[in-house]
């Protein structure tokens, strides 16, 4: 891993220098203001070997065996605690793929299975510029927005942050302060009318508009309505943040309500605090959500981790 400390007059120039010296794949590890008013950024670039989940080349030379024992995969899925029907579906598709393609390696079979069963999206996909983050209180919406904004800034995507959180005291101050550090524009919209107007104008200027919403109890209609009004006001991609450690059935029930508000993208949070990912796999399968990224740390500087069939397979197989 290459690590560099970069000092620059401001964050924009610091990011430019990081990109110039380490390339687009560098990750910001920390940033702070120096005593003389400059910005010091520590950035890292992992070696290709460490970065890659992709061992397809290796896979090609694994000798093909006809008889795959599904025992290990079954045990892994049991450990993760999926909704029963989702676990059964994964096993059925895995068996089918193993037979069709004459495969016997657990990871290859599972990866292909997860590719067939789940969808994956890029959180920085600008073809859907308005991303509306929603979820239960404390599920990690604002942190995920801050992390997405950091990555967008790093990729030089013109981005702004919009808060609609008029419920939690201090919620806006926190996000506004963060936008300030990143030198991004910040807007607060108290109601859906203001949001519609703000987004209409913002679409002319930015390629990514990250909208925060108040954390709600999905079992209380008046609270659901609060977010529904914002979600209906703008054409957006709804991103649901789900604490991975949640009870699986609760998570699916909650996600189903947010799906009704237009959410179709899943961003698991607190992956660092849990070993079992049955809740998020079940949400994605039962509510037809695509995975867009994951939060694996409370630290904003650590960014979001990408999710694909390979990283999911790794998580599933490594934890049994
Ligand atoms: N360990 C860990 N902590 C996280 C992660 N994501 C968020 N947190 C922490 O969880 C807490 C809540 O995160 P927020 O981003 O404020 O959650 P929120 O959904 O915006 O909360 P409300 O606005 O109150 O509904 C904070 O202390 C975060 O630092 C994560 O991936 N890992
Ligand atoms: Mg928040």
pLDDT at 3: 67
Chain-centre distance for alpha carbon 252: 17
Question: Could you identify the atom of ligand 1 that is nearest to the CA of residue 241?
Answer: 19
- Does position 48 have pLDDT exceeding 70, yes or no? no
Quote the CA–CA distance of 282 and 288 in Å, as a whole number: 9
Q: Using the CB atoms, write b or e for 301-310: b if 16+ within 10 Å.
A: bbbbbebebb
pLDDT band at 221 (very low <50, low <70, confident <90, very high): very high
pLDDT value of residue 212: 97
Q: For ligand 1, atom 29, name the residue with the nearest CA.
A: 298
In the predicted model, what is the mean pLDDT of residues 249-261?
A: 96
Atom number of ligand 1 nearest to Cα 297: 32
Residue 50 has pLDDT above 70, yes or no: no
CATH of the domain at 279: 3.40.50.300
pLDDT digits (tens, 9 = 90+) for 2-27: 667 788 888 888 888 888 888 877 77
Mean residue pLDDT across the chain: 89
Give the pLDDT score at 63.
47
**pLDDT score of 304 more than 90:** yes
Q: Give me ligand 1 centre to Cα 6, in Å.
A: 28
Distance, in Å, from the CA atom of 320 to the CA atom of 309, rounded to the nearest integer, reads: 18
Model confidence at 104, in pLDDT bands (50, 70, 90)?
Answer: very high
Q: Do residues 256 and 136 share a domain?
A: yes
User: What local confidence, expressed as pLDDT, does residue 320 receive?
Assistant: 42
Highest-pLDDT range among 22-36, 65-79, 269-283: 269-283
Question: 165-220: per-residue pLDDT in tens?
Answer: 877 767 788 899 999 999 999 999 999 999 999 999 999 999 999 999 999 999 99
Identify whether residues 133 and 24 lie together within a single domain: no
- Domain C-terminal end among 32, 49, 66: 49
Choice between 308 and 10, residue whose per-residue pLDDT is larger: 308
Domain that holds residue 26: 2-49
Are 124 and 40 contained in the same domain?
no
* Residue 115 counted as domain residue: no
Pairing between strand 119-120 and 208-212? unpaired
**Ligand 2 centroid distance, CA of 215 (Å):** 7
Q: Which atom of ligand 1 is nearest to the CA of 136?
A: 25
Tell me which of 13, 29, 49 is where a domain ends.
49
Looking at residues 135-141, what average pLDDT do you find? Answer: 97
Closest residue CA from atom 21 of ligand 1? 138
Q: Are residues 173 and 299 in the same domain?
A: yes
Q: How many domains does the chain have?
A: 2
Residues 162 and 304 in one domain: yes
Q: Ligand 1: does its nearest atom lie under 6 Å from the Cβ of 303?
A: no
215 lines ligand 1 (CB under 6 A): yes
pLDDT given at position 56 = 44
User: Which of 11-15, 123-127, 143-147, 245-249 shows the lowest mean pLDDT across its residues?
Assistant: 11-15
pLDDT at residue 41 is higher than 50 = yes
Q: At what angle do helices 192-205 and 221-233 cross, to 10 degrees?
A: 30
- 314 belongs to a structural domain: no
Q: Tell which one of 134, 135, 143, 174 to mutate to probe ligand 1, the residue whose CB is within 8 A of the most ligand atoms.
A: 143
Residue 75 within a domain = no
Residue 54 is predicted with a pLDDT of: 42
**Are 173 and 42 within one domain?**
no
Residue 195 lies in a domain: yes
- 103 inside domain: no
Asked whether residue 41 falls in the same domain as residue 180, the answer is: no
- Report yes or no: 161 and 188 within 8 Å, Cβ to Cβ: no
Q: Are residues 39 and 130 in the same domain?
A: no
Residues 185 and 275 occupy one common structural domain: yes
Quick check: is 131 in a domain?
A: yes
Sequence-distant (≥ 6) Cβ neighbours of residue 36 within 8 angstroms: none
Query: Picking from 101-115, 139-153, 179-193, 306-320, which range would have the lowest pLDDT averaged per residue?
Result: 306-320
* Angstrom distance (rounded) from CA 150 to CA 162: 15
Q: Which of 140, 241, 275 to mutate to test the pocket of ligand 1 (most atoms within 8 A of CB)?
A: 140
How high is the pLDDT of residue 64?
A: 47
Residues 142 and 234 in one domain: yes
Nearest-10 Cα torsion for 314, 318, 319, 320: 120
Query: For the purposes of burial, counting CB atoms within 10 Å of the CB of 48, is it exposed (0-12), middle (13-18) or buried (19 or more)?
Result: exposed
What number of CA atoms fall less than 13 Å from residue 151's CA on the CB side?
A: 21
215 and 126 share one domain = yes
The predicted pLDDT at position 42 comes to 76
Among 47-56, 82-91, 97-106, 302-311, whose mean pLDDT is lowest? 47-56
The reply to whether 22 and 158 lie within a common domain is no
Where does the pLDDT of residue 234 fall: very low under 50, low under 70, confident under 90, or very high at 90 and above?
Answer: very high
In a domain, residue 98? The reply is no
Show the 3-state SS of the chain. CEEEEEEECCHHHHHHHHHHHHCCCCEEEEEEECCCCCEEEEEEECCHHHHCCCCHHHHHCCCCCCCCCCHHHHHHHHHHCCCHHHHHHHHHHHHHHHHHHCCCCHHHHHHHHHHHHCEECCCCCCCCCEEEEECCCCCCHHHHHHHHHHHHHHCCCCEEEEECCCCCCCHHHHHHHHHHHCCCEEEECCCHHHHHHHHHHHHHHCCEEEEECCCCCCCCHHHHHHHHHHHHHCCCEEEEEEECCCCHHHHHHHHHHHHCCCEEEEEEECHHHCCCCHHHHHHHHHHCCEECCEECCCCHHHCEECCCHHHHHHHHHHCC
CA distance 39 to 183: 12
Is 252 contained in some domain?
yes
CA of 69 to the centre of ligand 2 (A): 45
* Average pLDDT for 125-141: 97
Is residue 290 very low, low, confident or very high in pLDDT (cuts 50, 70, 90)? Answer: very high
């Amino acid at each position: 891993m290459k690590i560099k400390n970069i000092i620059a007059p401001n964050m924009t120039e610091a990011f430019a220098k990081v990109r110039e010296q380490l390339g687009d794949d560098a990750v910001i590890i920390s940033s702070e203001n120096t005593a003389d008013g400059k910005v010091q950024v520590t950035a890292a670039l992992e070696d290709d070997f460490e970065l890659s989940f992709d061992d397809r080349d290796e896979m090609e030379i694994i000798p093909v065996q006809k008889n795959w024992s599904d025992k290990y995969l079954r045990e892994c899925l049991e450990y993760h605690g999926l909704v029963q029907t989702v676990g059964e579906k994964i096993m059925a598709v895995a068996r089918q793929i193993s037979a069709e393609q004459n495969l016997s390696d657990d990871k290859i079979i599972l990866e292909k299975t997860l590719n067939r069963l789940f969808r994956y999206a890029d959180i920085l996909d600008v073809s859907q510029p308005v991303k509306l983050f929603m979820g239960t209180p404390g599920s990690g919406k604002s942190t995920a927005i801050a992390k997405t904004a950091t990555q967008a800034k790093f990729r030089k995507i013109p981005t702004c942050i919009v808060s609609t959180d008029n419920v939690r005291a201090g919620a806006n101050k926190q996000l506004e302060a963060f936008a300030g550090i990143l030198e991004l524009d910040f807007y607060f919209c108290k109601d859906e009318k203001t949001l519609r107007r703000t987004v209409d104008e913002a679409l002319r200027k930015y390629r990514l508009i990250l909208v925060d919403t108040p954390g709600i109890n999905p079992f209380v209609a008046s609270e659901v309505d609060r977010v529904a009004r914002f979600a209906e006001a703008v054409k957006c991609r709804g991103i649901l943040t789900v604490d991975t450690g949640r009870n699986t059935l609760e998570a699916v029930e909650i996600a189903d309500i947010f799906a009704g508000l237009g959410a179709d993208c899943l961003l698991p949070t607190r992956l660092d605090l849990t070993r079992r990912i049955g809740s998020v796999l079940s949400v994605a399968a039962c509510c037809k959500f695509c995975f867009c990224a994951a939060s694996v740390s409370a630290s904003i500087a650590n960014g979001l981790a990408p999710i694909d069939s390979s990283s999911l397979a790794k998580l599933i197989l490594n934890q049994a």
